[in-house]
Structure 1
């Protein structure tokens, strides 16, 4: 990580999709740091590998609702159940230790999974508003799996979209890059081998619906 990071890669909603995650990390290019807005696990077939990738790269991450569900034994869906059954105690402890929010880079950037004031609340693009911003210049959100950014006089509100399970009718893995000096944001998409992930899901106890939706971006 740079001593004075300027270009920050933004990830969210990886959802145990290691193939998509590696494609995004390879595509990121020249960034000074990377952050993640939560939901590392759930839905997909590779929770351990995704956790290892995030930890190896020391990517600051916040707690998502699926991360919490896996740890608490209250799964939303079959991918959560699979993660609960297959993740080691040590990896589940890492998930349990993720904070609700992070203020990073001299408090210039805030990361939270859902809504800055209400846990589990979906902050859809139509709700992006400068009122969401506190003292930070950039607010990074996830949870909706819909890629969107708004630049206001007060700062930027951005959802980089979902790495591992987009739901904006575009199946390509989503991420964003924000520049803290110019207060500008770029939205990116990258192709990955969806079929490989679908086959891997087929080798697990995860519901086939989780595989089929990947090709539709829904």
Structure 2
């Protein structure tokens, strides 16, 4: 089975639509999202609608949780602005959808146990697992999840680590990449070959940045999209 993984859409409808266009060209069986559908950018409701229409499953990210609860105590000013805007912009039906999101998805495919979450099995919404995390930590997390493959989001950084037969993946961010590459990021994982294929696609950053400014969101949120930071 070929499974597409996306993460951290962050209300960036233009990037999300381009990723979905690319996935239509790929022979994928399922698409899963590692959370943070909303936050930062200008189109939270539109992104929720597309997730409901096109994605086979999504977990809850910290920005989804903050939008649902109004709790932004751990966010910087840009995160707070994005959450407050999302809470104003989305409908009650959208809120119900965010509330319905689980904090992890567990798959059994081709003798593989795959654990999908936003943060980590230890703290599914908030913990950051960076690409340079220590082997010992990653193996501990795989043991906690009772999984062969961990797929996580949250850092906005693509990751592929293989340690003692365990696989640790992050598809990077659709809507706000932070690895110095402004192109939207996603990943396709083949459960038979166990190979991960990371993909990048360009989108209309100008249009996204213009919408951010028109909605009164911080200028930095527009500027960072050009830089991939």
Aligned: 1:31 with 2:28: yes
1:3 corresponds to: none
Matches of 1:52 and 1:109, distance apart in 2: 26
Question: Considering only aligned residues, what root-mean-square deviation do their CA atoms show, in Å?
Answer: 1.4
Q: Determine which of 28, 35, 49 is the counterpart of 1:52.
A: 49
The TM-score with structure 2 as length reference comes to: 0.89
In the TM superposition, structure 1's runs of 4+ consecutive aligned residues that sit over 4 Å from their partners are none
Q: CA deviation at 1:181?
A: 1.1
Matches of 2:105 and 2:172, distance apart in 1: 18
Matches of 2:211 and 2:39, distance apart in 1: 14
Aligned: 1:120 with 2:126: yes
The TM-score with structure 1 as length reference comes to: 0.93
- Long gaps (5+) in structure 2: 73-78
2:99 corresponds to: 96
C-alpha spacing 1:58/1:162, structure 2 compared with 1 (3 Å): closer
Deviations 1:5-40 (A, max 9, x none): x00000000000011011111112111100000000
Deviates more, 1:202-211 or 1:6-15: 202-211
Q: CA deviation at 1:74?
A: 2.4
Matched positions, count: 213
- Long gaps (5+) in structure 1: 1-5
Larger fraction in helix: 2
Aligned: 1:132 with 2:141: yes
